[in-house]
Amino acid sequence: MSLIPLGILAASGGAAGGVAGYIAGGNSGSRVATVDKFDFASDARTTLGTGLSAGKEQSAGMSNSGVAGYAAGGIAGTFVATVDKFAFPSDSRTSLGTGLTTARYGLAGFSNSGVAGYAVGGQTGSHVSTVDKFAFSDDSRTTLGTGLSAAREQLAGMSNSGVAGYAAGGGTSSVFATVDKFLFSNDSRSTLATGLSSSRRGEAGFSNSGVAGYIGGGSTGSNVSTVDKFAFPSDSRSTLGTGLSTARQLVAGISNSGTAGYAAGGTTGSRVSTVDKFAFPSDSRTTLGTGLSSARYGSAGFQDEAI
């Protein structure tokens, strides 16, 4: 019997039913180091005894399912380059010896589980198009020769593991509908002919790997509840009939491929603790009875899908 490489298994949809999703940091009136963990089997929430290395917001989440999750960069009084790593299943935290190439916040993350995580764009005092890549074998960092098609912050990431990662929307002094696609085979970048249904920033990204990626919420100048869906591999876009339960921005996304995607926290003008859950493949939405441990925005999401 021949073995199937991990990336190919993940791209085909992986095993339904992962382990847990994590919502890390954010701003609850002040920046917090809190990491909430949602058990995918029951959606029950616990809070890790050890949080981030500092209270920070607008970090990027990256996931190496079955191994570790990462929260990269952010703002903690000043911009930081720190990358915190949470080992699965112990949830113990270390910080990488090598962080981002530049201290920044408002960046997005996407992952090729088993291979590498990517920290994309952000704000260093000016907007950047930088894409840093962390090899999961040793956590070493390289920077892609080709970054985003435009420098921007508060964008969202989604992944079709084994195939490609996507960086969607974001803003500078204006907002973007752009969706950039990075092929994992060679890290080459293209830009989808069809972007988001509206230009916006501060949205959440989550994925049903091998099937579709989703971009939910954000601000077009006013908050929206829209959830756009991009079918893999065609990258064709549709918009869900049911969006988020409230229009909001600075939302975090987590994924349990084959089962559900989650949009957590954010701000409607007031901070919320709401966690919306979208069941795959129906895309029907429910809202968890237990939300975040505190109402907050600007959190990072990562997950252990055990694939």
Tell me, what DSSP letter sits at residue 184? T
Question: Which residue from 222, 223, 225 is spatially nearest to 214, judged by alpha carbons?
Answer: 225
How many separate domains does the chain show?
1
Question: Which residue from 183, 207, 214, 179 is spatially nearest to 194, judged by alpha carbons?
Answer: 179
Specify if 3 maps to a domain.
no
Specify if 299 maps to a domain.
yes
Which segments of 121-177 are extended strands (E)?
131-135, 141-143, 156-160, 164-168
CA angle (11, 211, 214) in 5-degree steps: 115
The pLDDT value given to residue 307: 63
Specify if 123 maps to a domain.
yes
pTM for this prediction: 0.94
Domain with residue 118: its CATH number is 2.120.10.80
Q: Report how far residue 105's alpha carbon sits from residue 59's, in angstroms, rounded to the nearest whole number.
A: 6
b/e map 224-238, b = 16+ CB within 10 Å: bbbbbbbebeebebe
- Reading the chain (307 residues) residue by residue, the pLDDT tens digits are 333 333 333 333 334 579 999 999 999 999 999 999 999 999 999 999 999 999 999 999 999 999 999 999 999 999 999 999 999 999 999 999 999 999 999 999 999 999 999 999 999 999 999 999 999 999 999 999 999 999 999 999 999 999 999 999 999 999 999 999 999 999 999 999 999 999 999 999 999 999 999 999 999 999 999 999 999 999 999 999 999 999 999 999 999 999 999 999 999 999 999 999 999 999 999 999 999 999 999 999 999 997 6
Other C-beta atoms lying within 10 Å of the C-beta of residue 29: 9
Specify if 214 maps to a domain.
yes
Element containing residue 10 per DSSP (H, E): helix 6-11
Specify if 14 maps to a domain.
no
The pLDDT value given to residue 2: 34
Does a cis peptide bond (omega within 30 degrees of 0) precede residue 5? no
DSSP SS3 for 11: helix
Q: Report how far residue 24's alpha carbon sits from residue 303's, in angstroms, rounded to the nearest whole number.
A: 11
Specify if 222 maps to a domain.
yes
Specify if 47 maps to a domain.
yes
The pLDDT value given to residue 306: 79
Q: Report how far residue 173's alpha carbon sits from residue 58's, in angstroms, rounded to the nearest whole number.
A: 18
- The domain in which residue 126 lies consists of 21-304
Kindly tell me the burial class for residue 84, based on how many C-beta atoms sit within 10 Å of its own C-beta (0-12, 13-18, 19 or more).
buried
Specify if 43 maps to a domain.
yes
The pLDDT value given to residue 12: 36
